[in-house]
Structure 1
Amino acid sequence: MTSTVERAFAAALYTDSDPGAAKAAGRAKAAKAVRAAAQGVDTGASLLAADPSADAELDARGREFVRRAWERGWQPADVIRMVVREEGLDAEHVRLAARLIRAETGRYDTLPPRWAAQLADVPDEAPAPTDRFSAATRALELYRLLLRLPPIEPVGPVPGESVTAPVAGDSRALARIRALLAKAEATGYPPEAEALTAKAQELMARHAVDEALLASRAQAKDAPAACRIGVDAPYETAKAVLLDAVATANRCRAVWNSAFGFSTVVGFASDLEVVELLYTSLLVQGDAAMTRAEAEQRAGGRKRTKTFRQSFLAAYAHRVGARLAEVSGEVTGAAGELLPVLVARDVAVTDRAEEMFPETVTTRMRGVTDGAGWDEGTAAAQRARLGRGAGTSTEGQARLRSS
């Protein structure tokens, strides 16, 4: 006998009424698909609301769909990001997704690297109590999204698979880096913030050298890993360029997927951690610097504009990337006899990135047309100037995965 859940799914999920797929065929077909999808969800939700005995099976199927998403390459933070980005879904859908993720991960004694940090950021509130029809509607809308998630490049094992632990890093070095970046974010004096960030990058570069030395002495057979870092709107292209610059300065490679709002960063485990730390800190610092620059512009009688912000962040990313590369290059150049080991690790990272992404394209940022925004962004990244000056190109680049 067909269960209530199966009948509800047949009406709401297993149909060809996919609004996203219909968009390419024109507005009229997309609108028709939206109406058909809504009608299907209403029918399915009515069936579920009338049968309380179906609740346990509905919940179990939700956990199954979460597990399927993991098997297609998605991780907890990725799933939550897609729910947030999906048009028509809201905070209650996010909380339901979070509950399903926590329930499924709770079945395993150990989790892959980086999952614990992702779960710590997952909302821990249960969905708000509501009537049965609304709760069933929310579940079916979320399940539609989970079923539509396509396979993506895996960046690690799924729960239940064996996990190879990376070579242990120096937690004291990472603690010092975090402390420097926290001070840089907290200070209201821009030159101090940028000097602290430069010092953090120097420590990061030395940390990478130390990790390479440790691995070579231990004859460790660790290989490059990968992680995904969210790149959120607005001005996501400039942010992707900033992340690419941070990754490159720290011996990693970043590939941006604009459709899903993240970049995949490939590198050795210890380097991936510092890339995420520095990128997050630089976003905070860049936003603070842009707010100050906009205040000065308003004081001068000019209104804030989207092109000002876009140009500011583009210049900020461009100049910060050059400064990070200078600092990293100075440390690497002093590595002496360890250079062959570092070169070998660079080759391994490049090979792994090309294996994961055999087809990528390079794109140029558009909309960088505000001269004042570019000048202010460059100044924000250059006050604590180190080494040689950077060029004056007003076009950043980011690697994008081809569709």
Structure 2
Amino acid sequence: MIDRAFAAALYGGEAQAGRARPGTGHADDGLDTGASLLAAAPFADAELATRGEELIRRAWERGWQPADVLRLVRRDLDEPHVRLAAGLVRAETRRYAPDRLPARWPAQLAALDEDEYAPWRAPDRFAHATAVLALYRLLLRLPPIEPIGPAPGTPLHVPPPHPGDEPRALTRIRALLAKAEATGYPEEAEALTAKAQELMARHSVDEALLAARTHAKDAPGACRVGVDAPYETAKAILLDAVAGANRCRAVWNDALSFSTVVGFEPDLEVVELLYTSLLVQGTAAMTKAEAGQRAGGRKRTKTFRQAFLMAYAQRLGARLEAAAAPVTHTDGDGGALLPVLAARDVAVTDRAERMFPETTTTRVRGVRDGEGWAQGAAAADRARVGHAAPLER
């Protein structure tokens, strides 16, 4: 019965053509046929769940991680599908001992305890079968992507870190950025973010010097950061700027809505923190500036936002580089600092080029709102992240 349902909904001509995505309102005869078969076969429910776990396991083998899968399901489908996918991820990963989960997986799995991932109860068997088949159709088509770590179940030489083991510097950085996002005073946000960036740079340098002194076999890693619509180009540029200023490399996958950031683990952690905070601050500044524009009679909201975020990302790139330079270019350890950081830069570049041997550049288009650009650049100046003087216009 399951094979017949899959043949109609997942492998049929209409399904292969990719038509009738759930939630679009278009008819999908194959999906309806498969759902009708499953709704009439309650004896197949256990096997149907097992098939879903197999699809999830296949995603791990293709380089996907739990957060990646859930991000794509949320982008392409609806809330019921996200909850169903979370249930499959929870069920599949119960197979592995904690010491057989890659380093970033425990935190991603812990996030599934939030209310947004609670189990979904369908109004009837047909609705449940329809949602399950739509989810399986998406999982079946997940393409192979660049792996950023071992698959679950692989023996790990180093045990994954526990949530309570976070360095004190990162705890302080999180607190400073949270205050910068919450305050309504630009001057206070500027001072808090500047202090956070200083701590980030010093934390990175301390980790690099410690690894050099102890001859630790440290190697660059990678993580994925979601880059969601709208205005994803500006967000990808902002993430690239944050990564570059913190000795990492970012490669954007537009089709799958994420960037892969390559770097040493301490730097990856601060890149995620700073990017998230600057995006929150930039969005808040954009909303405030946009309200002022509308009050003045302007209605070109989309073009204003696009130009604002693009200018915000471009200006912050230069400012972040300037803010990081005083710490990373200072010879404060008897001549050891610059060679250590240079060696790590080479290692990061080599890892990025091996992961992504073929990359392309994209021309940025559609920035036509001069006022949006000026307001975005001004917001970037207010979000100063170092002690350097503001750049000339």
Whether TM exceeds 0.5 here: the answer is yes
One-letter amino acid matched to 1:7: R
Pair 1:160-2:148 in alignment: no
Paired AA for residue 189 in structure 2: A
Structure 1 residue ranges (4+ consecutive) displaced by more than 6 angstroms after TM superposition? 34-37, 166-170
Aligned to 2:50: 60
Residue in 2 that maps onto 1:344? 343
CA contact under 8 A between 1:315 and 1:377: conserved in structure 2? yes
Alignment of 1:256 onto 2:252: yes
SS of 1:362's partner is: coil
Q: Deviations over 1:250-274 (max 9, x none)?
A: 1100000111100000011111111
> Is 2:290–2:301's contact at 8 Å kept on the other side of the alignment?
no
The answer to whether the 8 Å contact 2:177/2:196 transfers is yes
Amino acid at match of 2:90: R
CA distance in 1, matches of 2:232, 2:194: 24
* Preserved CA contact (<8 Å) 1:17 1:36: no
Distance 1:35 1:277 in 2: 39
Report the alpha carbon displacement of residue 285 of structure 1 after superposing the two structures with TM. Answer: 0.5
Deviation at 1:189, TM superposition (A): 1.1
Residue 94 (structure 1) aligned with residue 82 (structure 2) = yes
Task: Label 1:261 to 1:391 Cα distance change in 2 as closer, same or farther (>3 A).
Answer: farther
Q: Classify 1:210/1:372 alpha carbon distance in 2 versus 1 (closer, same or farther; 3 Å).
A: same
The alpha-carbon deviation at position 175 of structure 1 amounts to 0.8
Give the equivalent residue in structure 2 for 1:275.
271
Q: Which residue of 2 aligns with 1:323?
A: 319
- 1:48 pairs with 2:46: no
CA distance in structure 1 between the aligned counterparts of 2:13 and 2:265, rounded to whole angstroms: 42
Bigger CA drift: 10-19 or 217-226?
Answer: 10-19
In 2, Cα distance between equivalents of 1:153 and 1:295: 41
Equivalent position of 1:117 in the other structure: 107
Give 1:191 shift. Answer: 2.5
1:186-335, aligned counterparts within 5 Å? 186-303=182-299, 305-335=301-331
1:370 CA displacement: 1.0
- 1:27 is aligned to none
> Which residues in structure 2 correspond to 1:8-23 (within 5 Å)?
8-18=5-15
Question: Alpha carbons of 1:295 and 1:21: their partners in 2 closer, same or farther (altered >3 Å)?
Answer: closer
Per-residue deviation, 1:18: 4.1
**Letter matched to residue 345 of structure 2:** D
Any residues of structure 2 matched to 1:121-160 within 5 Å, and which?
A: 121-122=111-112, 123-160=116-153
Mean alpha-carbon deviation: is it higher for 186-195 or for 36-45?
36-45
Which amino acid is the alignment partner of residue 347 of structure 2?
A
- The Cα offsets for residues 338-365 of structure 1, whole Å up to 9 and x where unpaired, read as 2111101000000100101111112232
Report the 3-state secondary structure (helix = DSSP H, G, I; strand = E; otherwise coil) of the residue aligned with 2:117.
Answer: coil
Unaligned runs of at least 5 residues, structure 2: none
In the alignment, the residues of structure 2 paired with residue 358 and residue 384 of structure 1 have an alpha-carbon distance, to the nearest angstrom, of 35
Q: Is the 8 A contact 2:2 2:48 kept in 1?
A: yes
Deviation at 1:378, TM superposition (A): 0.9
Q: Which residue of 1 aligns with 2:170?
A: 174
Q: Is the 8 A contact 1:167 1:222 kept in 2?
A: no
Deviations along 1:276-307, whole A, 9 cap, x unmatched? 11111111101111112112223333335211
1:363 matched residue in structure 2: 362
Task: Please state how far the C-alpha of 1:389 moved relative to its aligned partner.
Answer: 4.8
Identity, % of aligned pairs? 70
Q: TM-score of the superposition, structure 2-length normalised?
A: 0.90
Q: What is aligned with 1:80?
A: 70
Q: Secondary structure at the match of 2:251?
A: strand
Q: Which residue number corresponds to residue 25 of structure 1?
A: none
Partner of 2:388 in structure 1?
387
Counterpart Cα distance in 2 of 1:49 and 1:64: 21
- 1:78-99: CA deviation from partner (whole Å, max 9, x where unpaired): 111111221xx31111110111
Structure 1 residue 162: deviation in Å?
A: 2.2
Further displaced range: 319-328 or 123-132: 123-132
Q: Which secondary structure does the structure 1 equivalent of 2:293 belong to?
A: helix
Q: Distance in 2 between matches of 1:21 and 1:100?
A: 23
Rate the CA distance shift 1:391–1:229 in 2: closer, same or farther, 3 A: farther
Instruction: Compute the displacement of 1:56 (Å).
Output: 0.4
| Aligned residue pairs, count | 378
Match of 1:375 in 2: 374
Residues 42-79 of structure 1, C-alpha deviation per residue, up to 9 Å, x if partnerless? 22222211221111000000011011011101111111
The code of the aligned residue for 2:281 comes to Q
Q: In terms of mean alpha carbon deviation, does 139-148 or 358-367 score higher?
A: 358-367
- Residue type of the alignment partner of 1:255: V
- The root-mean-square deviation of aligned C-alpha atoms, in Å, is 2.3
Q: In 1, distance between residues paired with 2:72 and 2:235?
A: 18
Q: Matches of 2:30 and 2:338 in 1, distance apart?
A: 61
2: CA distance between counterparts of 1:223 and 1:231?
A: 26
| Cα distance between partner residues in 2 of 1:349 and 1:305 | 39
CA contact (8 A) 1:266 1:272 kept: yes
- Counterpart amino acid of residue 148 in structure 1: R
Q: 1:293 to 1:307 in 2, by over 3 A?
A: same
Q: Which moved more, 1:50-59 or 1:40-49?
A: 40-49
